[in-house]
Structure 1
Amino acid sequence: MQFYRRPQPIGAISFDLDDTLYDNVPVMRKAEAEGYRALCELFPQAQQWTQQQWAERRWQLMRSEADLASDMTLLRLATLKRGLMELGVDETNAKIGAEQGLQAFLAARNQVVVPAQTHEMLSALGQHYPLIAISNGNVDTRVIGLHDYFHQVIQPGDGRRGKPYPDMFAAAQTQLPQLKPGQWLHVGDSPLADVLGAHRVGWQSAWFRGGLYDEQGLIVLPTFAYHDNQTLADFLLD
């Protein structure tokens, strides 16, 4: 572990999900392919753009519309609907098609294999801390077997923006109003969504180095960084 700030007493812990508690990369590769296949079956004109071109359009939309960038479900729906309309599908059917494409994607997206070590860590930590999940993604924690570890699972929707916006952190704080912001520890792999998002609201942060990002992406320093779940659990349970 590497400490960047002096840790303060912890009263509750929140966890990012994707690429923090399990490897989400192979899952997303399969889900993207399945979503594209289903979309092309429903709308043959969708094949005018490759799977990569659809993904590039989604990234462009993410960069241009900040509110969509932190809500993966809305982002995907907007990409599909706008893309289908550009390809000549009327708005009503484009909206229906976007929903159908999303559901095909989600069916594969929720085929996550959670490591036994993650289950062991969450079970052990849950005996000592309230645990909450805060994720910008759209994984279903009930389907992947993690839901029961958490007091609450918070994701974007109904006007609530994703990390690094403060909305989901604020929603977590309402669950334990007796805790001060500095008593919360947020754990995640994203320098922007997790580390910066946590520190903006006065929380501590634990940055998982084994995710998708390297140290060059850090905008602010986390409270500490760690490489594996066992190291994190040993520290938090000491």
Structure 2
Amino acid sequence: MRLAKVSALSFDLDDTLWPFGPSVARAEAMLRAWLIEHAPDTASILPTQQTMSELREEYERSRPDLTNDFRALRLGSIRLALARANADVALADPAYEVFYAARNRVEFYDDALPALAWLSARFPLIAVTNGNADLRLTGGGEFFRETLSARAFGIAKPEPEIFHAAAQALSVSPAELLHVGDDYHLDIVGALNAGLQAAWVVRDPQPEVARATQHPASAHLTLSDLSMLCRALGGPDKLP
């Protein structure tokens, strides 16, 4: 695909700039350890780390109205664990802070920070996320003008409104905003349907990636890392 004029870029965060799985697994392990230390009876409710994820999923099924509010879902699952253990549910708030701090200790992909440094020197960047990562805590926030989260905005990807709001925040037309993300449906289909350009980051190709997609491959870039994005925008073969 050949890009049209690009005046600004929007970025997804989790699994685009860093792997999400390891950070949330570490955060859940720290949360479980904290709960067992401060409310020992939760040990029987949370016999394994996997139980943390299962409890979170159980609570989400019971509260579909909170689908895009990851803080509320996690807090609710913590309160559920405490209540089942007949422990003090007031511990949920400090427990969540332990979880959230660990969730934001991410390890950027090797190409991410050099690419963001090169891109932000040439284009305004905005983060557009359905998640709850905080760039002030993860690092990398200096490269972005703004973060637009589904929880704060009230509308999540792939709905066009959140993409249009990103373009408006950077004072560019949707057609001149290039959205970069790893989720084909949320990021790529969503961006293209909103009139943006799109770059699909596929770091670990799986057989299903080759499946027929809603938009032809010619409609978007497909990248194995962000250094390829820089080259597509006129950057050097190798970033510093």
Q: TM-score range by the shorter chain?
A: 0.7 to 0.9
TM-superposed deviation, 1:109: 1.9
Match of 2:113 in 1: 119
Q: In the alignment, residue 224 of structure 1 is paired with which amino acid?
A: L
For 1:89-108, what aligned pairs fall within 5 Å after superposition?
89=87, 93-94=88-89, 96-108=90-102
Match of 2:188 in 1: 195
Match of 1:236 in 2: 233
Higher relative contact order (CA 8 A, sep 6+): 1
For 1:1-238, what aligned pairs fall within 5 Å after superposition?
3=1, 7-47=3-43, 48-49=45-46, 50-62=48-60, 65-89=63-87, 93-94=88-89, 96-115=90-109, 117-158=111-152, 160-166=154-160, 168-177=162-171, 179-210=172-203, 214-215=208-209, 220-221=214-215, 223-237=220-234
Question: What is the total number of aligned residue pairs between the two structures?
Answer: 229
**Normalising by structure 2, what TM-score?**
0.80
C-alpha distance 127-219 of structure 1, shift in aligned 2 (>3 A) = same
Judge conservation of contact 1:19–1:212 (CA < 8 Å) in 2: no
**Normalising by structure 1, what TM-score?**
0.81
TM-superposed deviation, 1:86: 4.2
Q: In the alignment, residue 113 of structure 2 is paired with which amino acid?
A: H
Judge conservation of contact 1:192–1:219 (CA < 8 Å) in 2: no
Moved more, 50-59 or 167-176: 167-176
Q: In the alignment, residue 21 of structure 1 is paired with which amino acid?
A: L
Equivalent position SS for 2:122: coil
C-alpha distance 75-191 of structure 1, shift in aligned 2 (>3 A) = farther
* CA distance in structure 2 between the partners assigned to 1:135 and 1:113 by the alignment: 17
Q: In the alignment, residue 73 of structure 1 is paired with which amino acid?
A: R
Deviations 1:177-199 (A, max 9, x none): 4x222222111111233223323
Q: In the alignment, residue 37 of structure 1 is paired with which amino acid?
A: A
Q: In the alignment, residue 180 of structure 1 is paired with which amino acid?
A: S
| RMSD of aligned residue pairs (Cα, Å) | 2.8
Contiguous gaps of at least 5 residues in structure 2: 236-240
Deviations 1:49-103 (A, max 9, x none): 33212312323444565553333222212222234334445xxx52x33222211
Judge conservation of contact 1:71–1:157 (CA < 8 Å) in 2: yes
TM-superposed deviation, 1:15: 0.7
C-alpha distance 109-130 of structure 1, shift in aligned 2 (>3 A) = same
Judge conservation of contact 2:203–2:224 (CA < 8 Å) in 1: yes
Judge conservation of contact 1:190–1:212 (CA < 8 Å) in 2: no
* CA distance in structure 1 between the partners assigned to 2:64 and 2:195 by the alignment: 22
